[in-house]
Amino acid sequence: MPRTKHHTLEERLRSGEAEAWAEYLETTRSRSTQYDYEELEMWAWSRLQERLTVIAARRNRIAA
């Protein structure tokens, strides 16, 4: 069965989601003494939310 453009775009979006979550986990699990964990976690969560919002907007454009 040939891949459709929609299917390929959806795969890219899922990959982007996975990368966003991996970045969050990597950031929050790092043992940096330069930053307080709470400060770092708030930044990482904010970045994750921004990335997921962009992915959701792209997914909505595809569905439209």
pLDDT tens digit sequence for 23-57 = 999 988 876 666 788 888 999 999 999 999 999 99
Residue 63 confidence (pLDDT): 83
Residue 32 confidence (pLDDT): 64
Per-residue pLDDT for 4 more than 80? no
Q: Band of the pLDDT at 22, cuts 50, 70, 90?
A: very high
CB burial of 32-47 (b: ≥16 within 10 Å; e: otherwise) equals: eeeeeeeeeeeebeee
Per-residue pLDDT for 61 more than 80? yes
